[in-house]
Amino acid sequence: MAATATAPGAPTSRLGKAATEFDDRLIVAGPVRRTLNKVFPDHWSFLLGEIALYCFILLLLSGTYLTFFFDATMTEVVYDGEYDPLRGTDMSAAYASALDLSFDVRGGLFMRQMHHWAALLFVAAIVVHLLRIFFTGAFRRPRESNWLIGVVMLVLSLLMGVTGYTLPDDLLSGTGLRIISAILLSIPVIGTWVHFAIFNGDFVGEEIIGRFYIAHVLIFPAILLALIAVHLLILVKQKHTQFPGPGRTEHNVVGNRLFPTFAGKATGLLLVVFGVCAALAGLVQINPVWLWGPYNPAQVSAASQPDWYILFLDGSTRIFPAWDINLPGDYTIPALFWPTVVVAGAMFTVLALYPMIERKLTGDTAAHHLLQRPRDVPVRTSLGVMALTFYLVLVISGSNDVIADKFTISLNAMTWFGRIGVIVFPAIAYMITYRICLGLQQHDREVLEHGIETGVIRRLPHGEFIEVHQPLGPVDEHGHGQLAYGGAPVPKRMNQVGGARRAIRGFFTPIEQPSAVELEQQGEGRGLAAGEAARELTSSGRPSDGGRPSDGGRPQDTRD
């Protein structure tokens, strides 16, 4: 190794020498280069999981701050802090410390709210990420294991949310805890034993906040952290999936290298995620525990709800019919058991096993690295939309009292809406989605066969009017395109193939005239790479159709 120190090309700068010293000891140059050279696809949807990751980082940081002040005990204290309307009230030490955190710690309320908003965003980002993975088929072999880990992480994040929601021991979270207790009791045979093990006796006892606290700050985060590490390692090992497109195969990844392009964007996203959470934390109040009051088993408030990610379970519980099952020997399976333990268990089991189920049903056991467009897999897409509709009806039912109150609808009617809707709407959603998928598929094929509608109407010599179509590729003697569908988006408008000026430049504002940037780019002779091939093919219609984007007489003019 020492040989390199004298070798030609040895670093001469201080930094370079330091790096060499470093590598002498750790031999990391190889792995670091491999990491820096890793190629990431640049499609936006690949950033969804990262939002969740960055939320988790923010949760760890803000949560650690909160632990400096939070007292997770249920000792009865008399509040004597800044907040007048509760001064002199009996409450648990946990609730009192949550109040102190909000009113007596400088910036404490801000950090508390940031933690809570980040938690809501964390679960939301996981869900959106999961939907992307599902609808594009990214869970297929060889990525079933990562799908499974993802589902487990989703469940863990829900558990984190539930335990965290409970900690302040306010009237809202106490009501939630009461329902958790009832759910545990409802489990057949072992329910009461499980409840007594977790609560150390009957509801509510003295232990539960302390136990939930350690679960929330140590057990669940540790497992989650380990799973995130495994999730990412597997991702790196298996490399990213990608959408089909020119040059993209099952055996490569097209995109940007980690350094510097992707690293810059990812760090930027991290900062933006932190920024959104910080802005929400200051500008929008969340969980104002001082308004809820301390928990008291005899008190309750109208519109007591869990955080959004548990609303679906609250909804299923609200709409489930009153069906206790009485077994011989005076044993009972409570009605509460089905919409909570069974529904949640079934939903997450089906979710976790979906890759295996689909493999069984389709018999497709091959490895896939190219993603599918949702329209090309109508059954899966429709199943997904169906599940999503089911979920949404449950969420709406979970907030049915708020909806009933705000929109002056009968509460009982809302319950029946949920009961019927949860069966009817998913079926309707399936059928509609299936038709839409087929329709979109057909349109793709039609464009490939006949070309893009140009909007140019032509009168034939015998008087018939036809619309001129722009073929996308070589045509046979009947004028039909010979391109096959390859799973990639089919251009549907002239400006997507360079036959018209690109309508949108910039992100937010369409710029009609060539911008200074564009002119400069043209001056430098930079073409539009994507449109290059397609422009060659423009032949029918008017001569000017084949011109540069800046040419006049674009077909688009006549159409719009």
Interface with other proteins in residues 303-322 (CB under 8 A)? 303-309, 311, 314, 317-322
Among residue numbers 115 through 134, which ones bind other proteins (CB under 8 A)?
Answer: 117, 120-121, 124-125, 128
For residue 375, state whether it binds other proteins (rule: CB under 8 A).
Answer: no
Window 220-239: contact mask with other proteins (x via CB under 8 A): -------------------x
- Per DSSP, the residues of 198-246 read HHTSSSSTTTHHHHHHHIIIIIHHHHHHHHHHHHHHHHHHH---B---T
Q: How far is the CB of 458 from other proteins (least distance, A)?
A: 34
Q: Which residues of 306-339 are buried (b: 16+ CB within 10 A; e: fewer)?
A: bbebbbbbbbbbbbbeeeeeeeeeeeebbbbbbb
- List 16, 222, 229, 250, residue binding other proteins (CB under 8 A): 250
The full 3-state SS of 150-194, as one line of letters, equals: HHHHHHHHHHHHHHHHHCCCEHHHHHHHHHHHHHHHCCCCCHHHH
Among residue numbers 478 through 507, which ones bind other proteins (CB under 8 A)?
Answer: 504-507
CA angle 291–295–301, rounded 5-degree value:
60
Among residue numbers 513 through 532, which ones bind other proteins (CB under 8 A)?
Answer: 516-517, 520, 524, 526, 529
Q: Which is nearer to other proteins, 232 or 300 (CB)?
A: 300
Q: How far is the CB of 256 from other proteins (least distance, A)?
A: 6
Q: How far is the CB of 407 from other proteins (least distance, A)?
A: 10
For residue 175, state whether it binds other proteins (rule: CB under 8 A).
Answer: yes
For residue 388, state whether it binds other proteins (rule: CB under 8 A).
Answer: no
- Per DSSP, the residues of 17-71 read HHHHHHHHHH--HHHHHHHHT-EE---GGGGHHHHHHHHHHHHHHHHHHHHTT--
Q: Which residues contact 185 (CB under 8 A, 6 or more apart)?
A: 191, 192, 195, 334
CA 321 to chain CA mean position, Å: 32
- List 19, 57, 148, 198, residue binding other proteins (CB under 8 A): 198
For residue 203, the tally of other CB atoms under 10 A from its CB is: 16
Window 30-49: contact mask with other proteins (x via CB under 8 A): ---xx--xxx--xxxx-xx-
Q: How far is the CB of 293 from other proteins (least distance, A)?
A: 5
Q: Which is nearer to other proteins, 50 or 453 (CB)?
A: 50
For residue 5, state whether it binds other proteins (rule: CB under 8 A).
Answer: no
Q: How far is the CB of 552 from other proteins (least distance, A)?
A: 23
Q: How far is the CB of 252 from other proteins (least distance, A)?
A: 5
The answer to whether 315 and 397 have CB atoms below 8 angstroms apart is yes
For residue 15, state whether it binds other proteins (rule: CB under 8 A).
Answer: no
Among residue numbers 329 through 368, which ones bind other proteins (CB under 8 A)?
Answer: 329-336, 339, 367
**Which of 492, 507, 463 shows the shortest CA–CA distance to 556?**
492
Which among 254-262, 347-355, 371-379, 462-470 is the span making contact with other proteins, rule CB under 8 A?
Answer: 254-262
